[in-house]
């Protein structure tokens, strides 16, 4: 049986897993707050007199919390099964996200709400969903992960106009409720019906066929590739995570009108969606670190272009598309690299720990960008730093070497 036939069989059997994971990731903790805070931040700043940096610091608080909750989620997925963790967390994340609507001007309460969604929504992170996809696919692993993680790109397309409509129609409080209803009404029913446990889960169902292979978690921590990957992820995630929530303000400071800004920022999601699909196809066929190097150098050029100021609409569009495309590749690339270099034996713990490294950059990026603007009135300096960070991270990934081959066990 050739690889094409095997790949078709994988999708015929595994499409429910991909669909459920697609919605779970797209409407989960990773993209929902990240893609909407840029539009909600000015509303909160105007309502309560907060600085932009103070509002974006909520992303940092969430990130610091996920440094604890993400590894714990990996443990719970192994202990109780992937499906119950994902389903329960989707419900709790939805309810906790709507709690932002109860804000009363207290920064402490605001930050505690970010802690709450990070604790209760950690099971909606890609850790759980990609564990299922990785276990059900082998020949088309990269494409399956790419399709799964297009959820973030697709939501990115609709998130900003949907949030803008909610704010205009119901105010910022109504916007938080409307956004929180999405995982409750869309992702939760599909996950409950279609998402199944994977090999190694205590509640494993019939039909899974992949044998558990790879390094133990202890072996992984002793492997230099793990630490090289961790070192690369921090600057990459900082440089990609910082500009996106600030993009509305970046464009505003460059003289763009609100209608132009909404039109341009919609391309973040569109290009991320494209990046998921194209990136998944590429890493199935070519060496993933090499693909990552090429793709990550593109947003480095974007950050440099934006830092120059006085952008034309064409320059702004090109820069946004290049950043969005790279963002579209990042999560499925991480899941793919973990599976190829460390295997599935300790996938949840390994992915969780590397996700923490990724989250450090993503969490601090928006706040650092916001603080830089508050202090200097410009994003030029921090954008130049982001350009250098992308190049450094991309170069580090080239040191990973050949994929590993794991014996069946």
Is residue 37 within 8 Å of residue 59, measured between CB atoms? yes
Structure tokens at 194: 């279609």
The alpha carbon of 84 is separated from its chain's Cα centroid by a whole number of angstroms, namely 21
Quick check: is 405 in a domain?
Answer: no
Quick check: is 406 in a domain?
Answer: no
Task: Decide: helix, strand or coil at residue 31.
Answer: coil
Of 218, 231, 223, the C-alpha closest to 346 is: 218
Is residue 130 within 8 Å of residue 335, measured between CB atoms? yes
| Dist CA 278 CA 262 (whole Å) | 25
- Beta carbons within 8 Å of 116's beta carbon, 6+ residues apart: 96, 99
Quick check: is 209 in a domain?
Answer: no
Task: Decide: helix, strand or coil at residue 214.
Answer: strand
Show the DSSP H helices in 343-409 as ranges: 347-376, 380-397
Tally of domains within the chain: 1
Quick check: is 329 in a domain?
Answer: yes
Quick check: is 313 in a domain?
Answer: yes
Quick check: is 409 in a domain?
Answer: no
Is residue 338 within 8 Å of residue 283, measured between CB atoms? no
313-342 and 288-307 helices, crossing angle to 10°: 150
Is residue 133 within 8 Å of residue 18, measured between CB atoms? yes
Cα distances (Å, whole numbers) of residue 1 to 4, 6, 246:
8, 7, 50
Task: Decide: helix, strand or coil at residue 343.
Answer: strand
* Confidence (pLDDT) at 153: 67
DSSP string over 261-316 = HHHHHHHHHHHHHHHHHHHHHHHHHS-HHHHHHHHHHHHHHHHHHHHT----HHHH
The burial class, CB within 10 Å (0-12 / 13-18 / 19+), for 273 is buried
Quick check: is 129 in a domain?
Answer: yes
Q: Could you give the count of Cα atoms lying within 13 Å of 211 in the half-sphere of its Cβ?
A: 6
Is residue 319 within 8 Å of residue 311, measured between CB atoms? yes
Element (H, E) at 161: helix 141-182
Task: Extract the residue ranges of the chain whose pLDDT is less than 50.
Answer: 1-6, 200, 202-210, 409
Q: Which residues face 214 on adjacent strands?
A: 343
* Confidence (pLDDT) at 5: 44
Quick check: is 330 in a domain?
Answer: yes
Structure tokens at 38: 């840029």
Is residue 365 within 8 Å of residue 242, measured between CB atoms? yes
* Confidence (pLDDT) at 179: 96
Q: Tell me, what DSSP letter sits at residue 398?
A: G
- Beta carbons within 8 Å of 320's beta carbon, 6+ residues apart: 247, 264, 265, 267, 268, 271, 302
Residue with tokens 């690339």: 333
Structure tokens at 363: 């969490």
Phi/psi-derived region of residue 125, left when phi > 0, alpha when psi is between -120 and 50, beta in every other case: beta
Q: What is the CATH number of the domain that holds 266?
A: 1.20.1250.20
Give the structural domain span for 114: 3-204+214-400
Of 353, 364, 362, the C-alpha closest to 69 is: 353
């Amino acid at each position: 049986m050739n690889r094409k036939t095997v790949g078709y069989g994988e999708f015929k059997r595994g499409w429910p897993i991909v669909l459920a994971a697609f919605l779970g990731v797209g409407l989960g903790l990773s993209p929902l707050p990240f893609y909407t805070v840029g539009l909600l931040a000015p509303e909160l700043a105007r309502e309560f007199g907060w600085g932009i940096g103070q509002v974006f610091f909520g992303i940092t608080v969430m990130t610091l919390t996920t440094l604890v909750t993400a590894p714990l989620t990996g443990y719970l997925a192994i202990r109780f099964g992937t499906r119950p963790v994902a389903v329960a967390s989707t419900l709790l994340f939805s309810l906790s996200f709507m709690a932002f609507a109860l804000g009363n001007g207290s920064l402490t309460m605001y930050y505690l709400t970010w802690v709450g969604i990070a604790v209760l929504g950690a099971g909606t992170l890609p850790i759980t969903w990609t564990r299922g996809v990785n276990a059900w696919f082998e020949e088309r692993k990269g494409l399956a992960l790419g399709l799964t993680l297009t959820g973030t790109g697709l939501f990115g397309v609709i998130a900003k106009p949907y949030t803008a409509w909610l704010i205009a129609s119901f105010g910022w409080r109504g916007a938080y409720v409307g956004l929180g209803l999405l995982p409750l009404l869309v992702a939760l029913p599909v996950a409950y019906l279609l998402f199944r446990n994977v090999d190694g889960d205590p509640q494993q169902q019939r039909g899974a066929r992949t044998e558990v292979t790879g390094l133990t978690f202890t072996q992984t921590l002793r492997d230099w590739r793990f630490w090289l990957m961790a070192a690369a992820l921090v600057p990459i995630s900082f440089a990609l995570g910082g500009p996106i929530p600030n993009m509305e303000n970046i464009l505003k400071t460059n003289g763009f009108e609100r209608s132009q800004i909404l039109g341009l920022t919609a391309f973040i999601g569109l290009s991320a969606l494209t990046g998921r699909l194209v990136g998944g196809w590429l890493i199935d066929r070519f060496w993933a670190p090499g693909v990552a190097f090429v793709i990550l150098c593109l947003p480095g050029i974007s950050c440099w272009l934006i830092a120059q100021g006085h952008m034309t609409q064409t320059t702004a569009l090109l820069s946004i598309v290049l950043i969005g495309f790279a963002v579209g590749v990042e999560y499925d690339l991480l899941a793919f690299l973990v599976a190829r270099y460390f295997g599935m034996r300790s996938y949840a713990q390994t992915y969780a720990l590397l996700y923490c490294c990724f989250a450090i950059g993503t969490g601090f990026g928006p706040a650092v960008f916001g603080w830089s603007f508050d202090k200097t009135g410009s994003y030029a300096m921090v954008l130049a730093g982001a350009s250098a960070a992308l190049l450094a991270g991309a170069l580090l990934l080239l040191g990973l070497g050949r994929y590993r081959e794991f014996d069946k066990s």
